[in-house]
Amino acid sequence: MFLLPPHLTTPFPSTRSTNYFPTTRHHQPPPPSAANPLISSSVATATPLIADEGPNDILPLQNRRYDFTPLLNFLSSDSNSEPENNSSSPTQLDPTEFQLAESYRAVPAPLWHGLLKSLCSSSSSIGLAYAVVSWLQKHNLCFSYELLYSILIHALGRNEKLYEAFLLSQRQVLTPLTYNALIGACARNGDLEKALNLMSRMRRDGFQPDFVNYSSIIQSLSRSNRIDSPILQKLYREIESDKIEADAHLLNDIILGFSKAGDATRALKFLAMAQGNGLSPKSGTLVAVILALGNSGRTVEAEALFEEIKDNGLEPRTKAYNALLAGYVKMGSLKDAEFIVSEMERSGVLPDEQTYSLLVDAYAHAGRWESARIVLKEMEACNLLPNSHIYSRILASYRDKGEWQKSFQVLKEMRNSGVQPDRQFYNVMIDTFGKHNILDHAMATFERMLSEGIMPDTVTWNTLIDCHCKSGRHDRAEELFDEMQQKGYSPCVMTYNIMINSMGEQERWDEVTKLLTRMQSQGVLPNAVTYTTLVDIYGRSGRFGDAIECLEVLKSTGFKPTPTMYNALINAYAQRGLSEQAVNAFRMMTTEGLTPSLLALNSLVNAFGEDRRETEAFAVLQYMKENGLEPDVVTYTTLMKALIRVEKFDKVPAVYEEMVMSGCTPDRKARAMLRSALRYMKQRLNS
DNA sequence: TGGTCATAAT
């Protein structure tokens, strides 16, 4: 088995030649006035320039007090500005260049910074930017060159030119300032792997990563929605071991990160820590925590936090109400949702598109299409136009209720209202067909989207690939995976997770390894789902050694396995009736300080049931009751299955009875289990 | 801004 090592030592890009900058310079068009820059236009004047002089991307600078064109023209043509050749001192220069330098003596530093940022925005002028820095250094025209380099790196990072940033950094000894800029550039470009590598390199060089590094990484993860709880936990452990005291900003980022990762428990923990230190997080962060609480069904706590905003003397605004509303919509509590909206009205807080969208969501989810329609009308009355987003939510509701046929009606309705479907809408539509195994509709929707000139994104490809996997069309999924890359789309973690799952289902272990290697080479970091998937696929195939090794590797890299990973392992043992091993996995989980969920215990019930140890299965039920975990339909159904396995059919009805008495609503599978027990009893009577 | 896609129980 193969797994990704902890800190992948990705080399810095060094394969391309280091004379990258000089060569790009030759791509500059020869400047018309290069022959005598001092004569062609005066320096340091307010005179506006002719537009076609110099690179186009610095046009905004021409409105400023200083005219950099002569300098840029000079640097574009003059080979003396090569950094390699600038050993000569300014006094040895030809008088023209000296005079040019003198004319820029009074330029304030921020203007140089602005010039550099501007030059970095276009590939064709990056070389020029570097030449400017070298030239400034040569003529002692700007105070801190370290700062200039970090500005260059930062600007390159902003402009998604990470590769160039790395090349540039290779020309300098890395200082804390340039390290920070580089780490920031990596974070901004979502290259967490490189950012983390740089942090450890920084430590090796004897520099202490500071909270800004951590902040930029966490912010980048949050922003790109790529954050997950284990990675943030690991980062926090590093913060602790770096002995960095989390300040208000960093704590804010951490709370926001855990919220976005859906880990409401840890978000609350750090919120308490911040408040304990007398710090109050930004209101947007509190809203994110409310959202996370609501999303995990913890609406009571969400409401408590909402009230806390009020207690702090702040008036909750639309966003805060929306977050609370989202929780109730998520749990399908229409009454509470309606109450929140009326509270908004009462408090004079205006609903926005999001509010209406959530309300429409709530009605559509409850199957009250007419009410949803009224909300849309009301929305228009408030001068808020229904958009593609709101219709995509409606479609998602239909999808989740199994009513894929409604897709066409939704499409028609939105067109009638003058709303054009956008990419996200089509993504949901493809997913709707895909989730119901109507692959030709899914593909037709994809074609339709293309024919309307809407470009797919990674989500579109992921959706298509996954729905083919789910329908067992692994061959087509693989083709689509290749196709997306041929068309220039880079697979993301999710794509890889889908493909790993697919290969695992097919037991093509070499392919699983290949995918992991490719992830690594492309700098795509595996996340919690990747590991859960690996544990799951190995476990399901009885490769328990590999499954456990996954968890060990994970732990050795400073991550903690999530409860979900253990659930996958326990489930794998359970399905093969290996109850002893299932119990062991369960114990491992509790030893790690993880609280077993109902899901883990249900798997344990199943493990005993499949191992014909129904007494122990019922002991787990007892354990649940004693530990305040409410058994659910799955628990009782699994117990009934356990009884059937040992042919104690006559005891099944009592379990069914208890299920109903304890307030569980029997579902289709529960009823089927009872029915089959009754059938066996009848058979036994007849024989 | 947001909204869409991936993992674990009968």
| C-alpha–C-alpha distance, residues A375 and A421, integer Å | 19
Return the pLDDT at A170: 83
Q: Which residue has its C-alpha nearest to nucleotide B3's C1'? A: A389
The pLDDT tens digits for A433-448 are: 999 999 999 999 999 9
Q: Which residue has the higher pLDDT, A113 or A1?
A: A113
Q: What nucleotide is nearest A672 when CA is compared to C1'?
A: B10
CA of A634 to C1' of B8 (A): 14
Q: What nucleotide is nearest A495 when CA is compared to C1'?
A: B6
The pLDDT tens digits for A603-645 are: 999 999 999 999 999 999 999 999 999 999 999 999 999 999 9
Q: Where in chain A is the domain with CATH 1.25.40?
A: 598-686
CA of A296 to C1' of B9 (A): 18
Give every CB contact of residue A362 below 8 A, 6+ residues apart in sequence.
Answer: A328, A329, A332, A334, A337, A338
Q: What nucleotide is nearest A492 when CA is compared to C1'?
A: B6
Q: What nucleotide is nearest A637 when CA is compared to C1'?
A: B10
The rounded mean pLDDT for chain A is 86
For A9-15, which contacts have Cβ atoms below 8 Å and span 24 or more sequence positions? A9/A197, A10/A193, A10/A194, A10/A197, A10/A523, A12/A166, A12/A169, A12/A170, A13/A163, A13/A166, A13/A167, A14/A170
Q: Which residue has the higher pLDDT, A379 or A484?
A: A484
A85 pLDDT more than 60: no
CA of A594 to C1' of B8 (A): 15
CA of A328 to C1' of B8 (A): 25
Least confident of A17-26, A308-317, A487-496: A17-26
Q: Which residue has the higher pLDDT, A656 or A63?
A: A656
The pLDDT tens digits for A507-544 are: 999 999 999 999 999 888 899 999 999 999 999 999 99
Return the pLDDT at A27: 34
Q: What nucleotide is nearest A602 when CA is compared to C1'?
A: B9
- Token pair 């289902």 is found at A505
Positions of strand B less than 7 angstroms from a protein CB:
1-10
Return the pLDDT at A34: 35
Return the pLDDT at A79: 54
CA of A190 to C1' of B7 (A): 23
CA of A402 to C1' of B4 (A): 17
Q: What nucleotide is nearest A387 when CA is compared to C1'?
A: B3
Q: What nucleotide is nearest A355 when CA is compared to C1'?
A: B2
Least confident of A216-225, A450-459, A667-676: A216-225
Q: Which residue has its C-alpha nearest to nucleotide B6's C1'? A: A494
Q: Which residue has its C-alpha nearest to nucleotide B2's C1'? A: A354
The pLDDT tens digits for A379-402 are: 888 888 888 999 999 999 889 889
Q: What percent of chain A has pLDDT over 90?
A: 58
Q: What nucleotide is nearest A435 when CA is compared to C1'?
A: B5
CA of A229 to C1' of B7 (A): 14
State which amino acid sits at residue A639.
L
CA of A307 to C1' of B10 (A): 40
A25 pLDDT more than 70: no
pTM for the whole structure: 0.83
Q: Which residue has its C-alpha nearest to nucleotide B8's C1'? A: A568
Domain A598-686 has CATH 1.25.40: yes
The pLDDT tens digits for A566-587 are: 999 999 999 999 999 999 999 9
Q: What nucleotide is nearest A603 when CA is compared to C1'?
A: B9
pLDDT tier, A124 (very low <50, low <70, confident <90, very high otherwise): confident
CA of A613 to C1' of B10 (A): 17
DSSP per-residue letters across A34-66: TT-HHHHS-SS--PPPPTTSS-GGGGGGGGSSS
Return the pLDDT at A141: 87
| C-alpha–C-alpha distance, residues A212 and A250, integer Å | 8
CA of A495 to C1' of B5 (A): 9
Return the pLDDT at A315: 84
Return the pLDDT at A15: 31
CA of A233 to C1' of B8 (A): 21
The pLDDT tens digits for A240-255 are: 999 998 889 999 999 9
Q: What nucleotide is nearest A634 when CA is compared to C1'?
A: B10
pLDDT tier, A197 (very low <50, low <70, confident <90, very high otherwise): confident
Give yes or no for a contact between A583 and A554, defined as CB atoms under 8 angstroms apart.
Answer: no
A292 pLDDT more than 50: yes
Q: Which residue has the higher pLDDT, A26 or A644?
A: A644
A679 pLDDT more than 90: yes
Q: Which residue has the higher pLDDT, A205 or A122?
A: A205
Would you tell me how many other CB atoms lie within 10 Å of the CB of residue A100?
Answer: 21
Q: Which residue has the higher pLDDT, A62 or A437?
A: A437
A89 pLDDT more than 60: no
Return the pLDDT at A254: 96
| C-alpha–C-alpha distance, residues A257 and A222, integer Å | 5
Reference A465, options A499, A488, A438; nearest CA is A499
A66 pLDDT more than 50: yes
Please name the residue ranges forming H helices in A104-210. Answer: 109-120, 126-139, 145-158, 162-169, 176-188, 192-204
Q: Which residue has its C-alpha nearest to nucleotide B1's C1'? A: A354
| C-alpha–C-alpha distance, residues A509 and A76, integer Å | 55
The token duo for A619 is: 């002991």
CA of A502 to C1' of B7 (A): 12
Q: Which residue has the higher pLDDT, A411 or A523?
A: A411
How confident is the model over A221-250, as a mean pLDDT? 90
